[in-house]
A = this chain, B = another copy of it.
Amino acid sequence: MPYINIKVTDENVTNKQKQLLIEGVTKILVDVLDKKPETTHIVIDEVPITNWGFNGEQYAQSKKFKNEK
């Protein structure tokens, strides 16, 4: 009976990446806790970079984000 909520910044996550996240996280719940895939639900929330705060500032304004771009 697991439910997993993944919050990531909305930076062009592809459909393929969503598939891999869902497959991978489900597999871990199955392997580690012996959960069944059909009762394992995963919700991915993509958060605008203006709405994610980190180190006291918007991620959109952070050095980290600017450097990585």
Q: Is the CB of A26 within 8 A of B59?
A: no
Query: Which residues of chain B are near A29, meaning CB under 8 Å?
Result: 6, 8, 21
Chain copies in complex: 6
The complex places the Cα of A63 from the Cα of B30 at a distance, in Å, of 20
Chain A's interface: helix, strand, loop or mixed, by majority? mixed
A26 to chain B, nearest CB (A): 4
* Size of the chain A interface, CB-CB below 8 angstroms: 51
In this assembly, does A67 line the interface, its C-beta being within 8 Å of a C-beta of chain B? Answer: no
| Residues of A16-65 whose CB lies within 8 A of B | 17-33, 35, 37-47, 50-59, 61
Q: Could you pull out 15 A-B pairs where Cβ atoms are within 8 angstroms?
A: A1-B47, A3-B43, A4-B25, A5-B7, A6-B29, A8-B33, A18-B50, A18-B58, A19-B58, A24-B32, A25-B28, A26-B53, A26-B55, A41-B41, A44-B52
